[in-house]
Structure 1
Amino acid sequence: MRSVVYSEIGPSSVLSLVERDAPVPGEGEVLVRIVRAGVNPTDWKFRVGAMGALQYDEVAPGQDGAGVVEAVGAGVGHVAPGDRVWLVLAQFGRAFGTATELTVQPARCVVPLPDEASYDLGATLGVPAVTAHRALTSGNVTRLAPDALAGQVVLVAGGAGAVGNSAIQLAVWSGATVITTVSGDEKAALARAAGAHHVVNYRTEDVVARVGEIAPDGVDLVVEVSPTDNLELDLAVVRNHGTIAFYANNGGNEATLAVRPAFAKNVRLQGVLLYFLDADLLVAATEDVNAAVASGALRVGDDVGMPLHHYPLAETAAAHDAVEAGAIGKVLLDLG
């Protein structure tokens, strides 16, 4: 099988296309033939050592992907050979992720792909959609479904990003009024295409004043990508007993909290990192995401503000570079 691997920390030039023996699934494992693989910022961050030291002699990156089940090990009953599936956390705790034609995964990381979904969509459901789900359920709901967030106002910071786009689509599907912040007209168009009801340009508008006009009592939930830059703003716009869920450290690794305004509003600060989610939360996320996909509420493509950028497996290095450079939308590897 063809795989893209690296065996040392470094720039994208450490990635190489190699031939490796096909793996065999063991008990509780599933062998998947990858059709599309998603590329996320964590992939290049792991590769450059920003997430810690290299833990394996050789790594095939990629947390997200979609494909077809080739074989299953003993004890696997939720999927069978020939089933279409999507993957979540494919490379976490393992040497080989999705930048490879065949990958063996624990059964919990393999999710049936609804008939309504393309492989392109399936390869975007791991990191972006599951992260968005966890952020949206950090407040006073535990599951997403139509009307689960009815009557609530959600502020999504950076709505043109992959997680932001997924958060907008899932929040709208769940009945929320969605406000999002963007840095320019192009990203505003993407956020509107995703379904955001209100789009605020933080470079040209007073965000606190604009959000106050839309939600005079404050927003119920903030989905935050850059707490370093935005925590003061978030505290200003969140309502009493509201939640600020942050899933990234864009802008820096430290944030300053105004303590009294935070506890005076009974604000909950919720960190979100899907790698360490409890098993029941991961199951809930994959089930709700699949329900949104099956209903047509979660999609990808230009018409929903999630442009797709395709690269062949042999050009994985270029795909990594595109993500590191801030490609808008979703970068995918084509394997089949």
Structure 2
Amino acid sequence: MSRKYVFNRTGGPDVLELVDVDVPQPATGEVRIRVKAIGLNRAEIMYRTGAYVIEPTYPAQLGYEAAGIVDAVGAGVSHLAPGDTVSVIPGFAFTDYGMYGELVNAPARVVVKHPDAIGFEQAAASWMMFVTAYGALIEYGSLAAGDTVLVRAASSSVGLAAIQIANMVGARPIAITRGTSKRDALLEAGASAVICTEEQDIVAEVARLTDGKGAKIAFDPAGGAEASKLIRSLHQDGIFFQYGALEHGDIPVPVMDLLGKHLTIRGYELFEITTDDEKLERAKEFVTAGLASGKLSAKIDRVFEFTEMAAAHAHLESNTQVGKVVVRV
């Protein structure tokens, strides 16, 4: 028997239940992992509260990211073996797999050996954030040395990942945040500059910081009215990536900027990368190289114990963290 978190109704962190389950032998194309650490993500909060893109099927499982040791492999799996230390990249639906357990099965195509230099907690914190940022900035945005990228909600795990990836390729990340409380932490994390929207005008500050040129990419998980300012701050042929919906209102698009600068405005999600084998392999190579070199390193805000999952969810919902929330198993 193994323990696993499920929920049988939507609601607050208290709906999470730790139950005993039998974990079967991995099926064809699967691996079974003895979990050592779990990385928490905003999507899991949304799923638990009934605000995600899919409806829960009860008892509902959840969890996109984990790191641990391969316990068994199913038929057709040749790149992994029992004893390998691995991480799980989000590339499946909660209705099929969930990583909130002591022993879990996962599809082998999204399980990757992690570099020896990083531990389980770092590994569990890395893949959602770095692959999400990689897909927009590198795979689709072709961010390169000398380019400027605007990173909104920059203190989130994906925001911090975008800052690191920009620095890794020699680009310039400008962090966008609300107040001044996180300014020093963002500068320490590698932002070349920080714009605090409660006190500064985004358009004017981006113009000042780029000598009037503007940014190549805006990377935004929030949307809403403020997003139009990021769009206005792009230069010719700039790209605006919307990768979340923290604000549910529509984005007012400045049409003259759209037309005059030939801008691209697109929705983007991680699964564009993780459900495409060729793109996933490129992401694995990029992130693995970054982790191995130390140029990419997940910032962990706080580590909770496995029995403290509800408290870990509450902490993530507080929006006070800078970096990733991890649960140790």
- Aligned counterparts of 1:322 and 1:192: Cα–Cα separation in 2: 23
1:334 matched residue in structure 2? 328
Q: Tell me the residue number matched to 1:122.
A: 123
Matched residue type, 1:314: T
Q: Give the match for residue 155 of structure 1.
A: 150
SS at match of 1:51: coil
Match of 1:265 among 261, 266, 287: 261
Offset, 1:192: 1.1
1:38–1:333 contact (8 Å) kept in structure 2 = yes
Q: Deviations over 1:48-100 (max 9, x none)?
A: 11115644332331111111111111111222111111112266254441110
Q: Which residue of 2 aligns with 1:32?
A: 33
Query: Aligned-residue CA RMSD in angstroms?
Result: 1.8
Contact 2:218 2:231 (8 Å CA) reproduced:
no
1:204-240 residue CA offsets vs partner (Å, 9 max, x unmatched):
1222122111212111111112221322211221000
User: In the alignment, is the contact (CA less than 8 A) between 2:232 and 2:254 conserved in 1?
Assistant: no
2:47 — aligned with what? Answer: 46
Q: Distance in 2 between matches of 1:290 and 1:33?
A: 21
Whole-angstrom distance in 2 between the partners of 1:76 and 1:25: 10
**Matched residues in 1 for 2:140 and 2:233: separation?**
15
Match of 2:111 in 1: 110
User: How much has 1:11 moved relative to structure 2?
Assistant: 2.3
- Tell me if structure 2 keeps the 8 A contact 1:11–1:47: yes
- Letter in structure 1 aligned against 2:136: A
In 2, the alpha carbon distance for the partners of 1:307 and 1:21 equals 31
Match of 2:257, as an amino acid? P
Using the TM superposition, give the Cα deviation of residue 281 of structure 1 relative to its aligned residue in structure 2, in angstroms. Answer: 2.3
Shift of the 56–235 alpha-carbon distance from structure 1 to 2, 3 Å rule, reads closer
Tell me the TM-score normalized by structure 1: 0.91
TM-score (norm 2): 0.92
- Residue 138 of structure 1 and its aligned partner are, at CA, apart by 5.8
Partner of 1:177: 172
Alignment partners' CA distance in 2, 1:46 and 1:271? 20
Aligned residue identity for 1:47: R
Instruction: State the one-letter code of the partner of 2:311.
Output: A
Output the CA distance in 1 between the equivalents of 2:191 and 2:166.
Answer: 9
Query: Contact between 1:12 and 1:321, CA under 8 Å: does it hold in 2?
Result: yes
Q: Are positions 1:208 and 2:203 aligned together?
A: yes
State the alpha-carbon separation in 1 of the partners of residues 90 and 50 from structure 2.
18
Distance 1:52 1:307, change over 3 A: closer
CA–CA distance in 2 between the matches of 1:225 and 1:93? 21
Shift of 1:276: 4.4
Letter in 2 for 1:123: A
Matches of residues 128-167 of structure 1 in structure 2 within 5 Å? 128-137=129-138, 139-141=140-142, 149-167=144-162
CA distance in structure 2 between the aligned counterparts of 1:327 and 1:25, rounded to whole angstroms: 38
**Does structure 1 residue 255 correspond to structure 2 residue 251?**
yes
1:226–1:89 distance in 2 versus 1, CA, 3 Å? same
Partner of 1:320: 313
Q: C-alpha distance in 1, partners of 2:266/2:162?
A: 15
With over 3 angstroms needed to count, the CA separation of the structure-2 counterparts of 1:165 and 1:52, relative to structure 1, is: closer
Aligned partners of 1:324, 1:312: CA distance in 2, in Å?
Answer: 17
CA distances 1:97-139 after superposition (whole Å, capped 9, x unpaired)? 1110111111112011111112121111232211111121365
2:18 maps to a residue whose letter is: L
Matched, 1:198 2:199: no
- Counterpart position of 2:301: 308
Q: Which moved more, 1:170-179 or 1:131-140?
A: 131-140
CA distance in 2 between counterparts of 1:84 and 1:310 reads 20
Identify if the C-alpha distance between structure 1 residues 208 and 190 changes in structure 2 by more than 3 Å, giving closer, same or farther.
same
Question: How many equivalent pairs are there?
Answer: 324
Distance 1:103 1:91, change over 3 A: farther
Please name the residue that 1:92 is paired with: 93
Matching of residues 62-101 of structure 1 within 5 Å: 62-89=63-90, 92-101=93-102
Partner of 1:56: 57
User: Retained in 1: the 8 A contact 2:141–2:217?
Assistant: no
Query: Does the 8 A contact of 1:60 with 1:100 survive in 2?
Result: no
Q: Secondary structure at the match of 1:77?
A: coil
What amino acid is aligned across from residue 180 of structure 2 in structure 1?
A: D
Deviates more, 1:189-198 or 1:34-43: 189-198
CA contact (8 A) 1:139 1:242 kept: no
Percent identity between the two aligned chains:
31
